[in-house]
Structure 1
Amino acid sequence: MGSFRHHGAAIIMALLVTALAAVLATALLTQLSRWTDQQAAARDHAQARELARSGIEYARLLLAEDGRRSAMDHPGEAWARPLPPFQAEGGEVSGYLEDLQGRWNLNNLVRDGRIDPQALDLYRRLLRALELPPQLADTLADWLDADASSRPEGAEDDYYLSLQPPYPAANRPLEHLSNLLRVKGYDGPVLARLRPHVAVLPQAQPVNVNTASAQLLAALHPELGPAELQELLRSREQLPFRDLSDYQGRLSGAGTAAALDTRSNHFLAVVTARVGDTQATFQGLLRRTPQQPQPQLLWLLMQ
């Protein structure tokens, strides 16, 4: 009887050991599978980043070729057409370019640490056209100018240092559009409303009248009525402005104090690459000048 019990216990022990070994083997296989998946995902992500970088380089070549072929920039050119998704090196790449000089450069507001009154009035008109509070112009002006004096509807250190956490006013030009989120009155919805019409570019930059939005053109030319503005837009759609003389001729004598052009030097390249289940999106600010037709990459962000 004792022998039978001992034999039964040995069988049970063997079964337990076998079950434990099976559990351990399953756990090891699961960990190995996870590690393999992680390695594959990391490889795919790295490949997607490289493809996205290649897309940025393609955008530079496209702009360089456009600069050699054309003396103006308008929405009918090759650079303005989105790049349809295409297969490349085991992945898919797509992207597009945006003319940032078809937008109002917020850094145009400040020159040598001082606010340009005419530029400030223009920005107020743009805010009204976008149905945004015009006092946003004053808070941004205080954020940009070099002095510590608050405008009547602005904000300086006394406001920002009272926040939690506190921080001082920048008192210098913006570096990126997201900097606006630190300025009094600017939040996500305001930024979303502004984004198609404003940009952050180094130094003062002219507005490309071939790519400027209707709201920006209205802010540039407050003397134009709605019908005249629509006629200007229709004229531009039929035939882009060759140069500023052509533009002024079609304005019927209306003028503006803002710097204008029919050619652009700054473009935003947005490229998305997909490999497997992963994707990488890069945004790059490209600058092209007549002296340097091969565009420079001023900054690169990965989303």
Structure 2
Amino acid sequence: MKRSQPSRLLVRQRGAALLMAMVIVTVVATIASSMVWQQWRAVQVESAERGRQQSEWLLVGALDFARLVLKEDGRRVQTGGQPEPTHLAQQWAQDLKEMRLSTFLAVDKDNTDDAPDAFLSGKVSDINARYNLRNLLLISPNPGLVDVDPQQVKVLRDLFTNINLPPDLAPQIAEALRKATLAAMDTTQSFAALGGESGRAAAPLMPQRLDQLTWLLPKLGADTVERMRPYVALLPYLNVPQGGITAINVNTAPKEVIAAVWGIDTATAERIVRTRQSHYFEDVAEAQKQVPIVPIPADAIQVTSEYFEVTGILRLENQIMKNRHLVKRSGQARQIDVIVMNQERFSGVDPGN
């Protein structure tokens, strides 16, 4: 006996309803999964942003602490009332070894944060202990007149020889820096000195930090710049177009820099470094007594420092955030100030250096 037409229609309607219900459930599940994923992503982004801001606050706090230490050391005076020379026995020269942040928070009994441990470290380096590459140029008060100083090129050649780098890099860096300076001046005289529009277009960009030295020469790789970092600096022009020589601090400079700037051999420079370890040099005349037969070049050596580099590093597992700040200390007695000149920032996986 055949089924009636209404019965077959009812079966088809039930099947369609079931299919529709399954489609609706699938759509709802998809929307719900999307909403959950978006909520999870928003939480992760907010957590990462909060962690980044907290890391920045910690590094800013470390910078402020370093500035305070530099101020306090700068206020020290000798028996005669003269400011104490800058030397490596002062508090600023003591590195902050890597420490767990939980160590600082241990006094907080309500702190129950079970997040992974973060580690903070830092140091302050004397930039006046390094040779300033700006010394390579003679900048005239007349705009557009920039020349390479052959005497300073010789100093840089000697320094590169002392640190086992090709000495021929010195004149190449000097010439590239001259062209970059002329292009940055952007005056009629500098335009003419570069040889017109084509010369200005071919001039390298003016580097503002040591890492940017690779802009000057194609052969100057990042690895070479890192080898140079402990011995050279690139301080900002404060009195362009007058320029001027930045002296090194004989109380803090490494032997390679002292030998190149003073014009002596590294063995003699090493003896000077050993001598200052027992007692720092109070003035340039006292340092001159170490090598009386070789006069110190004019304005090349001093016993105080103005420029320092503050490095703060925050590590969380294999992720790090590193800040470098160039600061300048000026003034005397109670009027000393430490201002930030520029900063560099690195964030990512620990490169292992």
TM-score (norm 2): 0.71
User: Are 2:245 and 1:208 aligned?
Assistant: no
C-alpha separation between the residues in 1 aligned to 2:316 and 2:150? 50
User: Are 2:210 and 1:167 aligned?
Assistant: no
User: Are 2:133 and 1:106 aligned?
Assistant: yes
Q: Which residue of structure 2 aligns with residue 153 of structure 1? A: none
Q: Which residue of structure 2 aligns with residue 30 of structure 1? A: 37
Q: Residues 44 and 276 of structure 1 are in contact (CA less than 8 Å); yes or no, is this contact kept in structure 2?
A: no
* Residues 51-60 or 121-130, more deviating: 51-60
Superposition CA RMSD, Å: 3.2
Give the total of aligned pairs: 290
Q: Which residue of structure 1 aligns with residue 221 of structure 2? A: 187
Q: Where do 1:277-292 residues align within 5 Å? A: 280-291=321-332
Residue type at the aligned position of 1:175: Q
What displacement does 1:219 show? Answer: 1.4
Distance 1:30 1:225, change over 3 A: closer
Q: Residues 157 and 169 of structure 1 are in contact (CA less than 8 Å); yes or no, is this contact kept in structure 2?
A: no
Q: Which runs of 5+ in 2 are unaligned?
A: 1-6, 78-83, 106-112, 140-145, 183-192, 238-243, 347-353
Q: Residues 92 and 124 of structure 2 are in contact (CA less than 8 Å); yes or no, is this contact kept in structure 1?
A: yes
C-alpha separation between the residues in 2 aligned to 1:9 and 1:223? 97
C-alpha separation between the residues in 2 aligned to 1:281 and 1:193? 19
Q: Where do 1:12-91 residues align within 5 Å? A: 12-69=19-76, 71-84=84-97, 85=99, 87=101
Distance 1:41 1:219, change over 3 A: same
Q: Which residue of structure 2 aligns with residue 272 of structure 1? A: 313
Q: Residues 47 and 275 of structure 1 are in contact (CA less than 8 Å); yes or no, is this contact kept in structure 2?
A: no
User: Are 2:122 and 1:95 aligned?
Assistant: yes
User: Are 2:171 and 1:138 aligned?
Assistant: yes
C-alpha separation between the residues in 1 aligned to 2:266 and 2:126? 26
Deviant stretches of 4+, over 6 Å: 88-91, 275-278
C-alpha separation between the residues in 1 aligned to 2:210 and 2:339? 19
* Residues 209-218 or 287-296, more deviating: 287-296
Answer 1 or 2: higher relative contact order, Cα 8 Å, separation at least 6: 1
Q: Which residue of structure 2 aligns with residue 152 of structure 1? A: none
Pair member with larger Rg: 2
Q: Residues 265 and 289 of structure 1 are in contact (CA less than 8 Å); yes or no, is this contact kept in structure 2?
A: yes
Residue type at the aligned position of 1:240: Y
TM-score (norm 1): 0.82
Q: Residues 269 and 283 of structure 1 are in contact (CA less than 8 Å); yes or no, is this contact kept in structure 2?
A: yes
